[in-house]
């Protein structure tokens, strides 16, 4: 019953989300427009400064849209069987330059031949949101470790960081609309991730200790491809 109520509250929040996002994106876009107009005039040779402000505001708008992506395009969801290791490797490759820039070591311990049935883009979105958060929370010379393994009939992905961690109060707010402790944060990433993983029939769990680090666990049902294929083969012969 309490879960149902929580879900109703969440759905209500989601329906309010669209308007909020439009509003959020409009702010940086207005700034960009203003600076482009200034550049057009460029009276005191300040083009470079204006350009850099416009660019960083564009980046902000892009981030809001990226975090929001999965609410904006729910109709495009299509689940397919995919190998987790392959998608995770791809995401690690995408995020490695970012972690290098932040001086955070990004490591990956993988298990091959584990299959899940999910929408590829949504799954990638969740991984990017969570690994990016881990990197952002971790100070220089820290480590973010991604671990993929099988746990009976489940796939278990753990993202652990040696970052700032969260207090019990902060931990309780994780995944609520617009909750962010970052100056440029959207507070959408974890909320979107919770929704996507739940829709995939999985669970998402955060564990954290202040000043020690955070560990995020994604659990998804395993698709037993090899056994199914064997069964089909046996039935045919």
Choose one: 21-29, 36-44, 49-57, 129-137; the region binding Mg ion (CB under 5 A).
129-137
162 is a site residue for ligand ADP (CB under 6 A): no
Cβ proximity of 207 and 220 under 8 Å: no
Output 95 or 191, the one with its CB closest to ligand ADP. 191
Output 60 or 156, the one with its CB closest to ligand ADP. 60
Packed helices 120-137 and 84-101: angle between N→C axes, nearest 10 degrees:
30
Output 66 or 79, the one with its CB closest to ligand ADP. 66
Output 141 or 235, the one with its CB closest to ligand ADP. 141
Helix (H, G, I), strand (E, B) or coil at 18: helix
C-alpha 69/C-alpha 17 separation (Å) is 12
C-alpha 92/C-alpha 94 separation (Å) is 5
Packed helices 47-72 and 2-41: angle between N→C axes, nearest 10 degrees:
150
Kindly tell me which residue out of 189, 192, 195, 222 binds Mg ion, with binding defined by CB under 5 A.
189
Choose one: 41-49, 149-157, 169-177, 189-197; the region binding Mg ion (CB under 5 A).
189-197
217 is a site residue for Mg ion (CB under 5 A): no
Host H or E run for residue 192: helix 189-199
Kindly tell me which residue out of 99, 162, 186, 217 binds ligand ADP, with binding defined by CB under 6 A.
186
Partners of 149 in the β-ladder: 156
Sign for the CA dihedral angle at 221, 227, 229, 231 comes to negative
Output 128 or 222, the one with its CB closest to ligand ADP. 128
Residues binding ligand ADP (CB under 6 A): 129, 133-134, 137, 161, 163-166, 174, 179-182, 185-191, 214
Name the residues that contact Mg ion, by CB under 5 A. 133, 189
């Amino acid at each position: 019953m309490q879960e149902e109520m929580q879900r109703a509250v969440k759905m209500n929040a989601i329906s309010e989300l669209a308007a909020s996002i439009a509003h959020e994106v409009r702010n940086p876009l207005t700034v960009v427009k203003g600076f482009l107009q200034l550049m057009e005039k460029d009276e005191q040779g300040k083009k470079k400064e204006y350009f850099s402000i416009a660019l960083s505001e564009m980046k902000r708008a892009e981030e809001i849209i990226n975090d929001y992506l999965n609410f904006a395009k729910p109709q495009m969801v299509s689940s397919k069987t995919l190998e987790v290791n392959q998608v995770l490797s791809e995401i690690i490759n995408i995020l490695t330059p970012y972690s290098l820039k932040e001086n955070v070591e990004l490591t990956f311990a993988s298990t091959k031949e584990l299959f899940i049935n999910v929408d590829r883009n949504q799954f990638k979105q969740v991984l990017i949101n969570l690994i990016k958060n881990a990197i952002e929370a971790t100070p220089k010379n820290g480590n973010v470790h991604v671990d993929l393994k099988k746990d009976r009939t489940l796939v278990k992905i753990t993202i652990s960081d040696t970052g700032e961690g969260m207090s019990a109060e902060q931990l309780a707010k994780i995944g609520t609309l617009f909750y962010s402790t970052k100056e440029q944060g959207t507070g959408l990433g974890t909320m979107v991730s919770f929704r996507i993983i739940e829709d995939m029939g999985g669970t998402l769990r955060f564990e954290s200790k202040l000043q020690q680090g955070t560990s995020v666990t994604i659990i998804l049902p395993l698709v037993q491809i090899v056994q199914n294929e064997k069964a089909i083969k046996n039935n045919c012969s």
